[in-house]
Amino acid sequence: MKSALITGITGQDGAYLAKFLLDKGYKVFGTYRRLSTPNFWRLFAVDVYDKVTLIPAELIDSASLTEALKVSEPDEVYHLAAQSFVGASFEQPVGTGQVTGIGVARLLEAIRSFDPKIKTYQASTSELYGNNKKEAQNEETTFSPASPYSAAKLYGYWMTRIYREGYKMFCSNGILFNHESPIRGLEFVTRKITNAVSRISLGLQKKLVLGNLDAKRDWGYAPDYVEGMHMILQHHEPEDFVFATGEAHSVRDFVEKAFAVVDLDWHKYVETDQRCKRPLDVNHLCGDYSKAKEHLGWKPKVKFDELVKIMTKADVERWTRWQKGEVFPWDAPNHLDELHILSRALKA
């Protein structure tokens, strides 16, 4: 039986990947952070909590990463843990560098010392392209990071290649464009929208405040993308691959479609606020996944319209169940209104 270690198993991708690998017959270990309030709701939501082995680890603590390797003795490591919110990286640029950037070096060094034959997946990102002028971005497109997050990810991307080329380790980057789902964090724009649209449709909220409505993203469905992560590590040699849908839509398009799912006109409910904007934003991302299609046989199954429906309907169903007093694993009831928690530095 193969063994896999997932760093960041409590996140969106970690939970779906755990489910996918368990279904493939893997023994699955996952790292989590010790927090004052446990954060395992996604593992319960995808029904894997009691099927995985959890190991406490923190990316700024090398010893904890070594311990996680010793406990799990993995054939494959999926490095997903990161400070993954671009907006927060402007407020915590140094911390994001430590966790999202140098954390990759800590993990790769721990793997090199423990067992350099372990295969490693690095969660790289379309944010690396920044405001590159290309219409569609692929593995050959020049990087031009536009946030502390993407600068940290650029370091992780190159460290992965350096360990591959320098030490002949099986380390690969998946350059993944945005992928979303009903278990996406509420700070990301898609889930922020679907959660608010659901509440508005049920009379629980009056308006939705957003930032840059013109930004375009290539949004796919997270379960499709975790399948691709596994394919990358089964490829006959370590290589980097883009996963995307090949379609770009604006935040405004997402808003319009989500409100349409509940038969409401978005113009009546949406406002914009400077506090929800970033000091520097990425305007247009659209991925060309031809290499993954040709070499791995990967392609996205869920496209934009269906994604918006899946997410909006899931949130409507949750708020409806909540109104009936049902209790189930979920994040939204404890989520603060973002405008109360945005840092002073971002105020207009």
Active site positions, annotated? 125, 127, 149
Q: Determine if 212 is a binding residue for ligand GDR (CB under 6 A).
A: yes
Closest distance to ligand NDP from the beta carbon of 185 (Å): 5
- Look at residues 198, 178, 319 and name the one whose alpha carbon lies nearest to residue 261: 198
Q: Determine if 187 is a binding residue for ligand GDR (CB under 6 A).
A: yes
Using the Cα atoms of residue 203, residue 334, residue 188 and residue 298 in order, give the sign of their dihedral: negative
Q: Tell me which residues in 240-259 interact with ligand GDR (CB under 6 A).
A: 251
Closest distance to ligand GDR from the beta carbon of 11 (Å): 10
Q: What is the chain's length? A: 348
Q: Determine if 84 is a binding residue for ligand GDR (CB under 6 A).
A: yes
Which of ligand GDR, ligand NDP, none does residue 13 bind to, with CB < 5 to 8 Å depending on kind? Answer: ligand NDP
**Residue 248 has which token pair?**
């770009």
Binder to ligand GDR among 13, 76, 127, 288 (CB under 6 A)? 127
d(CA 120, CA 312): 34
- Look at residues 109, 99, 106, 82 and name the one whose alpha carbon lies nearest to residue 163: 109
**CA dist list (Å): 46 to 16, 78, 84, 188, 340:** 7, 18, 21, 20, 30
Question: Whose Cβ is closer to ligand GDR: residue 90's or residue 163's?
Answer: 90
Binder to ligand GDR among 77, 276, 307, 316 (CB under 6 A)? 276
Closest distance to ligand NDP from the beta carbon of 33 (Å): 4
Which of ligand NDP, ligand GDR, none does residue 12 bind to, with CB < 5 to 8 Å depending on kind? Answer: ligand NDP
Using the Cα atoms of residue 288, residue 292, residue 293 and residue 299 in order, give the sign of their dihedral: negative
Which of ligand GDR, ligand NDP, none does residue 182 bind to, with CB < 5 to 8 Å depending on kind? Answer: none
Question: Under DSSP, is residue 171 helix (H, G, I), strand (E, B) or coil?
Answer: strand
Burial of 290 (0-12, 13-18, 19+ CB in 10 A): middle
- Look at residues 80, 78, 76, 86 and name the one whose alpha carbon lies nearest to residue 119: 76
Q: Which residues bind ligand NDP (CB under 6 A)?
A: 8, 10-14, 33, 35, 39, 58-59, 80-84, 99, 123, 125, 176, 178-179, 185
Residues making contact with ligand GDR (CB under 6 A): 84, 86-87, 125-127, 177-178, 187-190, 192, 210-212, 215, 217, 251, 276, 278, 281-282
